[in-house]
Amino acid sequence: MVPLVNAARRAAELKAGGDAVQAELAAALDRAAVEAAEALRPYATVATFSRSSSVVAAVQRIAEREDGSLRAVFVGASMPGGEGVSAAELISSATGATLARSAQSPRDHNSSERDNLAVSVLPDDQLEQRISDRKVDVLVLGADAVLRGGTVVNKAGSARLARACARAVPPIPVVVVADQFKAWDDDCPPCLEEAFEVVPHDLISKVVG
C-alpha cells in the first residue's frame, strides 16, 4: 500500500503520467538492489521470507558477482499465502540456481561450489529452526513500509524470524531491502492489512536501499 501512496504523491509532484513515475520506481528498485548486493556480499547462506522484488533483484545481483560468496538461499514458504514459493521460483529463474521444493536435504553453504547456487523452500517453522541452529548467515527481508524510526512493516511471521536471529548466539544480522518508495514519514505505521505486521527497529541490523 505504501509504495502506491508514495507513487501517487510523486506523480502529483511531477504533474506527469504513469510512465515517468514507473521509471523512477524501476530506478529506485535498481539502486536498492545494488546497495543490498554490496551489503550482503560477505554472506554465503541467506535466509529470506515472503516475496519481495527488491530481495529477488538483490540476490540476482549477488549471484552475478565474480567476487560474491553466495552458496545457498533458504526461503520460508510464508504461509498462509505461500508467497515464499513464488519468491523461490523467481530467484531460481533469475539466477539459474537449482530449486529444491523439499526440506529433506537442504544444502549447506560449505558443500557446494560457487557456480552451483541452490535455492530451497522451507516450511516457516523449519526456516526458524535453521536460524536458531545458526545454519544461515543473514536474514534478508523486504518491506511494505519503513517507518521514520526504522521500524518495518512486512508479511506476518517476519518478526518471529527476526527474534530468532536476535536469540542466536552470536546473533544473526537482519537486513531489510527497501527502496525509497517504501519510506513512510511517520513513527506510526499505516493501517495494516491482516497479512502484515510490524518488525521493531531494534530487531533490524540495517535497512538498505
Residue type, 30: D
pLDDT tens digits for 1-31? 555 544 445 455 555 556 776 777 788 888 9
For the record, the C-alpha cell of 118 comes out as 541452490
Give the span between the Cα atoms of 179 and 13, in whole angstroms: 19
Give the span between the Cα atoms of 46 and 41, in whole angstroms: 10
82: left (phi over 0), alpha (psi -120 to 50) or beta: left
State the Cα torsion 11-53-45-80 to the nearest 10°. 120
Pick the CATH number of 32-208 from 3.30.470.30, 3.10.580.10, 3.40.50.11540, 3.40.50.10470: 3.40.50.10470
pLDDT tens digits for 91-105? 999 988 889 875 444
pLDDT tens digits for 116-153? 789 999 999 999 999 999 999 999 999 999 999 999 99
Calculate what percentage of the chain has a pLDDT beyond 90: 59
Domain boundaries, the chain: 32-208
